[in-house]
Amino acid sequence: MRTRKAQRLQDDRGGAVRPSRRALILGAGALLLARPRPARAQAPSHAAFTDLLQRYVVPGRDGLNRVRYAAFQASSRPALDRYIADLSQTRVDALPPADAYAFWVNLYNAVTLQVVLAHYPVASIRDIDLGGGFFSRGPWKKDLVSVGGQGLSLDDIEHGILRKHYSDPRVHYAVNCASIGCPNLATRAYTGADLERMLDDGARAFVNHPRGVRVERRGIRASRIYSWFSEDFGTERQLLRHWSRHAAPQLRADLADARGIAGYDYDWGLNDAN
């Protein structure tokens, strides 16, 4: 019988993370972040990524940010490739913590865009099957980028580095998996200077959108992100406090009167602006 932790590691994004792979993920983070730090380095410029996001991420009146993948694919794939190649040369262990956090978020989002553009058109990122195990589906487990000579998958960046080393549930509002159900892809690159503001902005935008949290007659319906990553958000009481912290006044009042969590939803459709 599987442990509760093993069950939580199995989600709709690609099956169970096997113990050997889990060790590799954690090892990648340790290799890149736990070695002796050299003198502090200047953070890499993310201006090129901001320029791409400004051109191709379209905020909608419905509160969803969508990506003009067709136009991006036709005109700017080489610029995205160059940005990722530049990031791969970064000595992340020499960056201040906020700059390193921003670096990993931007790298995750840039590589996600890169893999979608390489296979576009697709209806869902889960249709991009790059392997990684018998129960796997999607692009998350294959090494797609190298940093400091270490090959990394999207899972390595999210689970082995960002979640493990920063212990901040707001990371789930920053990394984007190219899906309608996911928190918005920001229209600007993250930077160390703007990190706290952008993390809070992302949290507020998602918590106050119906795909994040909504209160119905039978109780609270929430994004499946909160179920998949319950160990990051804590108990139901802690999760309610997290939502209330970022909720607008009306939602905060509704949450206080709600019967509890009635269920979770998620839309894997591609966040495509067409």
Number of domains in the chain: 1
Rounded Cα distance, 242 and 203, in Å: 10
Quick one: pLDDT at residue 137?
A: 76
Low-confidence ranges of the chain (pLDDT < 50): 1-11, 14-27, 34, 134-135
Residue 232 lies in a domain: no
CA 127 centroid distance within chain: 18
Residue 230 lies in a domain: no
pTM: 0.89
Residue 235 lies in a domain: no
Q: Is the dihedral of CA 216, 13, 100, 19 positive or negative?
A: positive
Residue 87 lies in a domain: yes
Per DSSP bridges, beta strands 57-59 and 261-265 are unpaired
Rounded Cα distance, 62 and 39, in Å: 46
Residue 218 lies in a domain: no
Structural domain range at position 68: 4-207
Residue 226 lies in a domain: no
Quick one: pLDDT at residue 42?
A: 87
- The answer to whether 164 and 26 have CB atoms below 8 angstroms apart is yes
Rounded Cα distance, 256 and 251, in Å: 9
119-161: pLDDT as tens digits: 999 999 999 999 755 446 789 999 999 999 999 999 999 999 9
Residue 53 lies in a domain: yes
16 Cβ contact partners less than 8 Å away, ≥ 6 residues apart: 6, 9, 10, 133, 135
206-225: pLDDT as tens digits: 999 999 999 999 999 999 99
Enter the tokens of residue 95: 């960056």
Residue 237 lies in a domain: no
Strand, coil or helix: what is 202?
helix
